[in-house]
């Protein structure tokens, strides 16, 4: 078991920016469902679903969190991919369907609050999180709260209007939360297997990032479905994302292992991070004849 | 690829304001910007089939060809014989009395297509060749 270190005694928060798209109209679910990898036809009010958009080669082009809120779909995606994804959503609207697409970039932000202890997060929020599910938003004053299921730590995501963020931060800082830097956030996400833009934007297949559970091969056609179905039926996935550790330094980049296979480091804290590695490699492998890394599944 | 514009229409996002506590903000609505003049071609076999299908209802019905998201390659063709839409957002081409309607939103994706019909037991039916497509699905229904 790889152990990472960040100051565990306090509760941290990190502000994340996403692309924000709102889709409304009676055909909005049907329309979005044709584009994404998962099936949201049965999405319920306040439910949050993870999904992907892939290209015709089956490679990920955006990672989405889709929520149904008061009859509208709130779609959070990778900020850098906002325009491309929205073009896809707009261009695929059928002339006879009731779908309206709105750009909400900058209007909403997500604050992730995390700690080693569940009680700490509850105290910061002033709301008990142990009874919350991890699929549905809870409405609390002007914000929406979603508990995030993690391997080691406890985290909630707060969806809030950008205009209201200052007063919210004042409240949680008053309760003891500390703003964390990018390095601390990366440590948290690497320890808990949370993928981010660094992984999603590298043109990987869903299976290579361990995201098979948000790919529904029975829902019908979507871009990339043919490739995903073929991979599933023939079992030919050749590489997968792993968490690595090394005694030396291994930065983001592509390396060759001693067996001549590629090792693509997508996120790195220096001596630990995520890398996409051939499934034929052992759990310990050498790079350039000297750097020994050990790996484990997320 | 199609081009888009963002139009700020405040009142359309009222519902969204409500779910975030009534704080009050509006969201810009995204609409499609580029409309091109559509010209399509229809082969003799396709025209014959269109006439057979629509026979006697040329005055009230038309063939609507459109595109929507989905399929393996990104977009799916959709073809319907239906009552002529009243909307002025369609471009109309007439082929020996049969009218083909294409919506302005689909104009840049469908301009230049050739509509063909294959009368075979396997793989028969209408077939579209699209110069705007960089790839197409084996079944012929999807393009990208």
pLDDT grade for B3, boundaries at 50, 70 and 90: low
The tens digit of pLDDT for each residue in A199-251 reads 999 999 999 999 999 999 999 889 999 899 999 888 778 999 999 999 889 99
Q: What is the mean pLDDT of residues A72-88?
A: 93
In a domain, B94, yes or no: yes
Q: In whole numbers, what is the pLDDT of chain A averaged over residues?
A: 91
Residue B6 pLDDT exceeds 50 = no
Q: Do B29 and A100 touch (CB under 8 A)?
A: yes
Measured between alpha carbons, how far is A189 from A267 in angstroms, rounded to an integer?
A: 10
Q: Does the beta carbon of B142 lie under 8 angstroms from any beta carbon of chain A?
A: yes
**Percent of chain A at pLDDT exceeding 90:** 74
Residue B16 pLDDT exceeds 60 = no
Bridge partners of residue A273, in order along the sequence = A244, A268
* Closest by Cβ to B27, choosing from A91, A96, A103: A103
When mean pLDDT is compared over A120-134, A204-218, A278-292, the highest value belongs to A204-218
Q: What are the CA-CA distances from residue A205 to residues A19, A150, A217, A243, B129 (Å)?
A: 21, 23, 14, 18, 30
Which residues of chain A have a CB within 8 Å of the CB of B4? Answer: 86-87, 90-91
Min mean pLDDT across A130-139, A249-258, A261-270, B25-34 is at: B25-34
Residue A51 pLDDT exceeds 60 = yes
Measured between alpha carbons, how far is B29 from B8 in angstroms, rounded to an integer?
A: 6
DSSP string spanning A157-172?
EEEEEGGGHHHHHHHH
Q: What is the mean pLDDT of residues A40-59?
A: 95
pLDDT, position B33: 67
Residue B121 pLDDT exceeds 50 = yes
The tens digit of pLDDT for each residue in B67-95 reads 998 888 889 999 999 999 998 899 999 99
Cα–Cα–Cα angle for B75, B78, B80, rounded to 5 degrees: 170
> Would you say how long chain B is, in residues?
144
Q: What is the mean pLDDT of residues A90-109?
A: 90
Q: What are the CA-CA distances from residue B45 to residues A19, A228, B42, B125 (Å)?
A: 47, 37, 8, 10
Bridge partners of residue B130, in order along the sequence = none
pLDDT grade for B29, boundaries at 50, 70 and 90: confident
Cα–Cα–Cα angle for B107, B112, B114, rounded to 5 degrees: 120
In a domain, B16, yes or no: no
pLDDT, position A245: 94
Residue B135: phi, psi to the nearest 5?
Answer: -155, 160
pLDDT, position A151: 85
pLDDT, position B25: 58
Measured between alpha carbons, how far is A31 from A26 in angstroms, rounded to an integer?
A: 10
**Percent of chain A at pLDDT exceeding 70:** 97
Measured between alpha carbons, how far is B79 from B6 in angstroms, rounded to an integer?
A: 29
Region for residue B123 given its phi and psi (left: phi exceeds 0; alpha: psi -120 to 50; beta: otherwise) = left
Query: What domains can you pick out in chain A, each with its CATH number?
Result: 10-235 (3.30.1360.120), 238-298 (no CATH)
Nearest alpha carbon to residue A293 among A244, A240, A225, A254: A244
Q: Which residue range is the domain that position B75 belongs to?
A: 41-143
pLDDT, position A253: 95
DSSP type of residue A271: S
pLDDT, position B139: 67
pLDDT, position B31: 77
**E-only strand ranges, A188-260:** 239-246, 253-256
In a domain, B23, yes or no: no
Measured between alpha carbons, how far is B66 from B141 in angstroms, rounded to an integer?
A: 12
> In this structure, are residues A211 and A200 in contact, taking their beta carbons and an 8 Å threshold?
no
Measured between alpha carbons, how far is A148 from A128 in angstroms, rounded to an integer?
A: 14
Q: What is the mean pLDDT of residues A275-286?
A: 93
Number of domains making up chain B: 1
Residue of A nearest to B77 (CA): A94
Residue A136 pLDDT exceeds 70 = yes
Min mean pLDDT across A7-16, A120-129, A160-169, A221-230 is at: A7-16
CATH number at residue B52: 2.60.300.12
A–B interface: beta-carbon pairs under 8 A? 121
Is residue A186 helix, strand or coil? helix
Does the predicted TM-score (pTM) go above 0.90? no
Residue A2 pLDDT exceeds 50 = no
Structural tokens at position A76: 């959070």
CA count, 13 A, side-chain hemisphere, A87: 13
Residue B4 pLDDT exceeds 60 = no
Bridge partners of residue B91, in order along the sequence = B102
**Percent of chain B at pLDDT exceeding 90:** 49
* Cβ-based interface (< 8 Å): residues of A facing B: 22, 24, 31, 34-35, 55-56, 69-72, 86-97, 100-104, 107-108, 141-142, 144, 160-161, 163-164, 221-226
In a domain, B32, yes or no: no
Nearest alpha carbon to residue A118 among A3, A1, A11: A11
């Amino acid at each position: 078991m790889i152990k990472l270190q960040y100051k565990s005694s306090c509760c941290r928060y990190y502000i994340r920016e996403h692309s924000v798209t709102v889709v409304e109209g009676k055909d909005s679910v049907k329309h979005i469902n044709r584009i994404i990898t998962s099936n949201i036809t049965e999405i319920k009010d306040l439910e949050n679903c993870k999904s992907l958009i892939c290209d015709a080669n089956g490679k990920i082009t955006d990672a989405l969190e889709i929520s149904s809120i008061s009859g509208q779909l709130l779609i959070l995606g990778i900020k850098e991919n906002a325009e491309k994804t929205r073009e896809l959503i707009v261009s695929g609207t059928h002339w006879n369907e009731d779908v309206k697409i709105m750009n909400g970039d900058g209007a909403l932000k997500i604050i992730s609050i995390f700690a080693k202890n569940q009680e700490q997060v509850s105290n910061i929020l002033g709301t008990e999180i142990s009874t919350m599910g991890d699929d549905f938003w809870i409405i609390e004053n002007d914000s929406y709260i979603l508990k995030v299921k993690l391997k080691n730590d406890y985290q909630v995501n707060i969806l809030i209007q950008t205009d209201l963020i200052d007063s919210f931060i004042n409240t949680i800082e008053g309760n003891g939360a500390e703003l964390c830097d990018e390095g601390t956030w990366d440590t948290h996400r690497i320890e808990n297997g949370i993928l981010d833009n660094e992984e999603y934007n590298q043109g990987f297949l869903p299976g290579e990032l361990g995201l098979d559970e948000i790919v529904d091969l029975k829902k019908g056609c979507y871009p990339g479905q043919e490739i995903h179905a073929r991979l599933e039926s023939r079992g030919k996935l050749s590489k997968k994302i792993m968490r690595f550790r090394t005694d030396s330094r291994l930065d983001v980049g592509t390396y060759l292992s001693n067996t001549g296979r590629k090792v693509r480091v997508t996120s790195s804290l220096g001596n630990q991070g995520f890398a996409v590695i051939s499934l034929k490699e052992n759990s310990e492998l050498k790079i350039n004849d000297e750097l020994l890394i050990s790996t484990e599944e997320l | 690829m199609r081009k888009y514009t963002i139009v700020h229409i405040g009142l359309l996002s009222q519902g969204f304001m409500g779910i975030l506590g009534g704080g009050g903000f509006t969201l810009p609505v995204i609409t499609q910007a580029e409309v091109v003049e559509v010209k399509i071609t229809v082969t003799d076999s396709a025209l014959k089939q269109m006439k057979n299908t629509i026979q006697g209802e040329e005055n009230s019905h038309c063939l609507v060809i459109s595109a929507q998201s989905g399929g393996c390659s990104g977009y799916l063709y959709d073809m319907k014989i239906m009552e002529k839409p009243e909307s002025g957002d369609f471009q109309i081409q007439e082929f020996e009395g049969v009218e083909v309607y294409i919506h302005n939103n689909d104009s840049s994706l469908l301009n230049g297509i050739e509509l063909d019909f294959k009368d075979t037991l396997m793989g028969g039916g209408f077939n579209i060749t699209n110069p705007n497509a960089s790839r197409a699905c084996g079944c012929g229904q999807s393009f990208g």
